[in-house]
Amino acid sequence: MPRPGAGARTTVDHAALFDAAPSPFLVVDPQLVIVEVNRAYCASVGRSREELLGRFIFEAFPDNPDDLAGDGVANLRASLERARDTRRPDTMAVQKYDIPDPASGGFVERYWSPMNVPVAGVDGRTAFIVHRVEDVTDYVRQQAARRVDVARGEEWRRRVLEVEADLVARARELQALNAQLREAGEREREVALALQRAMLPAPDPCLDGLDVAVRYRPAENALFVGGDWFDVVELAEDAVALAVGDVVGKGLPAAAVMGQLRSALSAATHGADGPAEALDTLDRYARTVDGAPGTTVVQVRLDRARETIRYSRAGHLPPLLVTAAGEATFLEEGGGLPLGVDDPGEPRPEAEVALPRGATLVLYTDGLIERRGRPLDDGFAALAQTVGRHVALGVEALADAILDELRDDGAMPDDTALVVARSTG
């Protein structure tokens, strides 16, 4: 019998798996309308699939009008909307959420442990939310009804109940604190993104003999943006310097360090003889800036008159050079340590290669190709194949194609800076 994955391929009936799952699952669309349930969910709430599909979730499971202190509906709605809008899973504390009882026409007291997980569509936006819930009503009732041994006395029982009540209160406080932290993180993310955009302007579209496209994409499911950046500097004597870099850390501190290093490199580039000298100057500056050591950066100088590429890498991933015919080469020479991690000594290394007419150069940060659990070589191969397949596109369209095809399940898992340049002279 052939082994799975070794010539034989098993067809998986995902609908049957979902329906057979022992945990209760309900699926809603972005408008919170129920689109699917499994058998365990129907059994848990005492309703049939036909009774639930196509209904707004809070129409199918409304608030108990007799439970004036109940907040289960409000909490669940807030969690579903958070999962939908942030595209991140949202785990809730144990909730009291009474459900309608068709037999009596009233409500049945129930306690649940819910989790809401967004599922991205092809456009990267939330297409569905999977609501997984465990019924913990029996456990809560057993705890409430538990009787402590008479020998321990009424005082012991009172203290047990006080501790349990305190734990419930702390759980609710933790849920509220988590919501506040999420809101604060989102505000910081918005400020950091605004700072990133302000400090990463588009290059001059009128670079003689060179087409350049730049992109910055924040991680789509992360709370904090990173310190990725790009830079394009037009120099005298028919030369252009391109760079990308990645600051260690996240959020506003990383964005602020990114701005300082980008400005410093741009200034150093005008006075330096080449990329290695510019990075040496930047390295000395980085040692004076908190949060800058460990930054990786690569700079490439395109000399259109001499038709050469000079480049130097400070711990950064190698640029990709693709000819008009689609032949791909990673520029792996000129490598040195990241900024500020070693005492200054020998000058940074630099390498030079020919710049073929019509060739495309791609500079990028690690968010484009690195994926957890995947060899880095696979990421390099995917990038080379993508650029080679679309090399006939203009640089703007090519930049978009690279980002679209290398996204991970509809989302970019880490911040990414990208520069695509093509010699047209």
Write out pLDDT tens, residues 299-316.
999 998 889 999 999 999
Quote the pTM value: 0.56
CB 209 within 8 A of CB 220: no
CB 418 within 8 A of CB 244: yes
Which CA distances in Å does 269 have to 86, 235, 315? 39, 9, 18
Q: What is the mean pLDDT of residues 69-90?
A: 86
All structural domains of the chain with their residue ranges: 14-146, 201-423
Query: Closest by alpha carbon to 79, among 42, 117, 53?
Result: 117
More confident residue, 312 or 221: 312
Q: What is the mean pLDDT of residues 351-365?
A: 94
Query: Closest by alpha carbon to 256, among 299, 194, 302?
Result: 194
Q: What is the mean pLDDT of residues 278-292?
A: 91
Query: Closest by alpha carbon to 347, among 396, 281, 290?
Result: 281
Identify the residue whose tokens are 């599909």. Answer: 53
- CATH number for domain 201-423, candidates 3.60.21.10, 3.40.190.170, 3.40.50.1700, 3.60.40.10: 3.60.40.10
- CATH number for domain 14-146, candidates 3.30.450.20, 1.10.10.2840, 1.20.120.420, 2.60.40.3950: 3.30.450.20
HSE-CB of 184 using CA atoms within 13 angstroms: 6
Q: What is the mean pLDDT of residues 5-27?
A: 77
Sequence-separated (6 or more) residues with CB below 8 Å from residue 53: 34, 35, 36, 37
Question: Does 47 score more than 70 pLDDT?
Answer: yes
Q: Concatenate the DSSP letters of all residues of 235-289 into one string.
A: ETTTEEEEEEEEEEEEHHHHHHHHHHHHHHHHHHHHH-SSHHHHHHHHHHHHTTS
Query: Closest by alpha carbon to 330, among 346, 338, 319, 317?
Result: 319
